Structure 1
């Protein structure tokens, strides 16, 4: 089964859900907030053609409190830049993630979000229309020239698929046996396969957004990086090592 059909964060709001275990991603949003504010300000104060409807997309939105927090921060940035000549009366907000994402939990929290928005910004600030757009962002998602601001956080390090060939046997041995990442024991061909897949995915992402964003629009992307050029260092692999051990243990239990 394809990755885009099965991959999702844990649903709901219980103790094992993504909603209750996404403090690191929330911290990333707080760090990036000044960059979002600056990007929105420059967009609204640029020579972008004034229109009544502004398109905003959050790609890889997942679910939980971080999703609407990001939308609130973008709205705050717009409100703080209201002195610029470009004005909008409607805001089209698109929340994107894979098909199995927990969009229902997001929708259930929208009434309270709308009420809070009216209290803080007033009824005259503009109308908001929030909708879900399920699908992979490694390809087109929106009509041409329909978006003004695009955001993606903690998502673009996920590849669209397992790099081709890694599940094949070479000399009777799996190329990256027992691993779901690049490790110290991974051969050079595994590193090259992951690198090639990332370049293909990221290029397709940029090409797709180039067709969807209007001239003068802005995009803010944040994704996991590393300080070393070596992809097998502990800072890059520690969490994947723990996950791999957990998965191998689960497989062993099923097979016993």
Structure 2
């Protein structure tokens, strides 16, 4: 019995030693097929099988350490996405907006439309009636006797009826659209810009003059120094015209006089 146990122990020890030697030889030589480099162990250390290492680690209370696989040379590492500026040949970096200062010129697009419609109706009716009668009246005869002066009773009967009815309709529409260059006369602490503009056009017989004033926030001004009139606060627009064309559209003095003295 003792002899059998000794033989069995020798066989197990021989098999374990052969396995360790084969594994050590493979690690030292490497695998040329997959490009694995040989593993060089420090001198004095012996390579143990995974079973022996796991058994010793579990006996010592330390979890076994798994070997780290070698990196794959065919795997491309992840890269960040490319920016537009790195791949585009026409990319231009956006420039920061220029700070607007006093005396800068801003082009204003004036687009103003107004429409007015008014209807009026007036209706008045008046009725009057007046009646009077002299039933008795006396007179003094020559003999100083009072007698009736008339055999009939004189009477007054007056009636009046008046009616006034008028209907009126007013419709007015106007549109102004033009460009005008305004000058920045002041920059307020909150970023608002005070603008003033004046434009005059003169021809042979006619002249036009445009005026504009108001306040606009600097953020409403585009990068090309343009703005819309609808974004201007306290907007004041003046337009005057003189000349032959304007005179042809005016009412004559006779029409004005007739409208002034016309009682109805």
| TM-score bucket (shorter structure) | under 0.3
Structure with the higher fraction of residues in helix conformation: 1
Structure showing greater relative contact order (alpha-carbon pairs closer than 8 Å, 6 or more residues apart): 1
User: Which structure would you say has the larger Rg?
Assistant: 2
TM-score scaled to structure 1, two decimals?
0.20
